[in-house]
A = this chain, B = another copy of it.
Amino acid sequence: MRPPLILLSVLTLTITSFLLFVSCESGDGQEGEEFRDDRISALFEPIPPEAPVPEDNPMTEEKIDLGHMLFFEPRLSRSGIISCNSCHVVGAAGVDHRDVAIGEQGRLGPRNTPTVFNAAFLNSQFLDGRAATLEEQAVGPIQEHVEMDLTAEEAMERLEISGYRPFFEEAFPDEEEPFTFDNVAKAIATFERTLITHGSPFDHYLEGEDVLTEQEIAGFELFKESGCASCHNGPLLGGRSFMPFTHAAEREGADLGRFDVTGREADKYVFRVAPLRNVELTYPYFHDGSAETLEDAVRIMGESQVNLQFTEEEVDQLVAFLKTLTGEFPLVPHPRLPR
């Protein structure tokens, strides 16, 4: 941690480098032939330079700014002190480090808070995948009784009083009525598409640099050989499929997972495979936060999902590998809220 001035310079540099990186790498720079194909299967790739953007919600500076303000806006909760950032803390790897989320009046949510970083690359949002897009996700917590607990109408009324209308007009200049709850969702999702962590040691390794230690490489090999990688793959090492989580089924009062969304018997105790980017920092683990440490999580996943009892050495190797997935976090200013 450096002093504010240096922080800012670092941030400016980070963003500048990121923009340079984008311009150098734009297109399909993440295709296989550039990577160490002797060791890496097509299962892995560095985080793409930019998040995919839906056609009906293009990225603009004005929309990012509005989303940035809304993400930090505590008046979007009944109490007036809980914002998106209260649980998805941008300075804490996008999580709250609690077992399960907590919201208005201390009400407990049903599940552990997933990180907002890199969520833009997921094909489904929430641990049970009940939202397809960031836009759908964004307005869920605002309206949840256990989270921020406002109706859409109440939210818009508060934003009106707080002077947000002109910012919606700037962010959605072609719309006849830009000041809508749908556009709250679009703006927040747009801001969230900027929350990407590039530059992890694993990304550098995939790009051909010899940056991993022997132990980390051994962990990566074990990760592939023992079957972890059959679900935890893709740019986020997870998040692309839904799988039964035996460990969840064994716990009392168990969360039924995706069954709550589909109602299909086969979806009982099924959850979205956790993306593993920055997993070192997103403790505690699992849908109920029941694993405090990465070591515990690795042991439980071994027994529960690939039917293996990892030795202590193997656990250490896997944990060492998982820590190479920690990327560089953009520093996010606290936005100036309208009034």
Chain A residues packing against B (C-beta within 8 Å): 1-5, 7-9, 11-12, 15, 61-62, 64-66, 68-69, 72, 74-75, 79-82, 85-87, 89-92, 96-98, 102, 104-106, 162, 167, 194, 281, 329, 331-339
State which of B64, B66, B102 has its C-beta within 8 Å of the C-beta of A79.
B102
CB distance from A15 to the nearest CB of B (A): 6
Q: A89-B334, A329-B336 are in contact. List 18 more A-B contacts (CB 8 A).
A: A1-B338, A2-B61, A3-B62, A4-B332, A8-B8, A8-B12, A8-B333, A11-B333, A12-B12, A69-B91, A79-B106, A80-B96, A80-B98, A81-B98, A91-B337, A106-B106, A333-B334, A334-B334
CB distance from A190 to the nearest CB of B (A): 11
Inter-chain contacts of A104 with B (CB < 8 A): 106
Inter-chain contacts of A337 with B (CB < 8 A): 89, 91-92
- Chain B residue nearest in CB terms to A292: B161
Contact in complex: A8, B1 (CB < 8 Å): no
Inter-chain contacts of A338 with B (CB < 8 A): 1
Within the assembled complex, what's the spacing in Å between the Cα atoms of A55 and B194? 43
Inter-chain contacts of A9 with B (CB < 8 A): 12
Would A8 and B3 be within 8 Å (CB), given that A81-B82, A331-B333, A333-B332 are in contact?
no
- Chain B residue nearest in CB terms to A2: B65
- Sample 24 A-B pairs with CB under 8 A, ordered by A number: A1-B167, A1-B336, A3-B61, A3-B62, A4-B65, A4-B194, A7-B333, A7-B335, A8-B11, A9-B12, A72-B91, A74-B89, A80-B98, A80-B102, A81-B86, A81-B87, A82-B86, A85-B334, A86-B86, A90-B334, A105-B106, A281-B339, A331-B333, A334-B334
- Chain B residue nearest in CB terms to A11: B8
Inter-chain contacts of A74 with B (CB < 8 A): 86, 89, 92, 96
CB distance from A83 to the nearest CB of B (A): 9
Inter-chain contacts of A61 with B (CB < 8 A): 2-3
Inter-chain contacts of A87 with B (CB < 8 A): 81
Contact in complex: A1, B335 (CB < 8 Å): yes
Contact in complex: B80, A97 (CB < 8 Å): yes
Contact in complex: A4, B79 (CB < 8 Å): no
State which of B15, B65, B75, B106 has its C-beta within 8 Å of the C-beta of A97.
B75
